[in-house]
Amino acid sequence: MKASSTIKFVVPGIAALMGCLALRDALRPPAALAETPSIGARQRAEKKSFTDSQIVDGFLKTAFGAEYHLAGRVDRIRKYQTPVRVFVDGARADRQKQIGKVIRDISMRIQHLDIALTNERDDANTVITLVRDRDLQKTITSFYGPEKAKEIHDTLDPQCLSGFRKNESYEIQRSDVILTIDNGDFVFLDCAYEELLQSLGPINDTDSVPWTMFNDQVSMGFFGVYDQYIMNILYDPRIKAGMTVDEVRALLPSILPDVRAWVAKINNLPR
């Protein structure tokens, strides 16, 4: 169990902020990032078999809504409809290397998402800012202004933070992710995966689904099979930004077999 709090909220205008108070224990990177034998052991213990109803339940609970709702409608699908290009702003070469591995892992596991690093900030629609823990609040203030930054601090006391801007069609236009670099590898990787994935659309936390990293009681540090189902449904081309719950429900019976086949293939799961 992790001692953490994640609150997602939509602010006036088109920004959705996501905060993660990450005091994480027993987190686990993917195989490509595994650095201790215990990480591999925890991956092998991961639950990988789910019913259709379990997958649909988690998808609907994370892709719609926002845990802490201030303004703006949250009853629509939010996602990128364009390629995602990520720029990393920060001097820590080791953390930049880890981010590169995280993004490559996400790219490999979400079939219809075009996501990659870019060396040019002007080409990016997602910017990851790496900061020291002592500079986090100052950085949040520079992003969101003193009033909103104080509210974020008082509500979340975050150790990592992300947000996105969407247009009137609920298409995400830009994401910003702030990660602290000096709180250990487990915290860094757990925050990196959760914040990057949530900045792609599924911003609602749920404490009723025990297999997703979008649950405050679940510490992962890697891209698990259950969340791969959620993200592959979201980025299936048949799911469009702005869709309602009823519109999505009507499509899920035709989408789920394709998503299952992909997730099984990429994870070497039985079909």
Contact 216, 207 (CB under 8 A): yes
**Bridge partners (DSSP) listed for residue 5:** 21
Q: Count of domains in the chain?
A: 1
The rounded distance, in Å, linking the Cα atoms of 172 and 174 is 6
Task: Tokens 């002592």: give the residue.
Answer: 134
CB neighbours of 178 closer than 8 A, spacing ≥ 6?
128, 129, 131, 136, 139, 140, 143, 160, 161, 162
At 45 the pLDDT is 82
What's the CATH code of the domain at 210?
3.40.390.10
- Neighbour order of strands in the sheet with 160-166: 3-10, 15-23, 160-166, 172-180, 126-131, 84-89, 115-117
Question: Which residue range forms the structural domain that includes residue 249?
Answer: 3-267
Nearest CA among 125, 148, 135 for reference residue 90: 135
Tens of pLDDT along the chain (271 residues)? 333 333 333 443 334 454 443 333 333 344 444 454 445 666 778 899 999 999 999 999 888 865 444 445 668 999 999 999 999 999 889 999 999 999 999 999 999 999 999 999 999 999 999 999 999 889 889 988 898 888 878 877 778 888 889 999 999 999 999 999 988 888 898 889 999 999 999 876 666 867 987 777 777 789 999 999 999 999 999 999 999 999 999 999 999 999 999 999 999 998 7
The rounded distance, in Å, linking the Cα atoms of 110 and 266 is 9
Contact 199, 78 (CB under 8 A): no
Whole-structure pTM value: 0.84
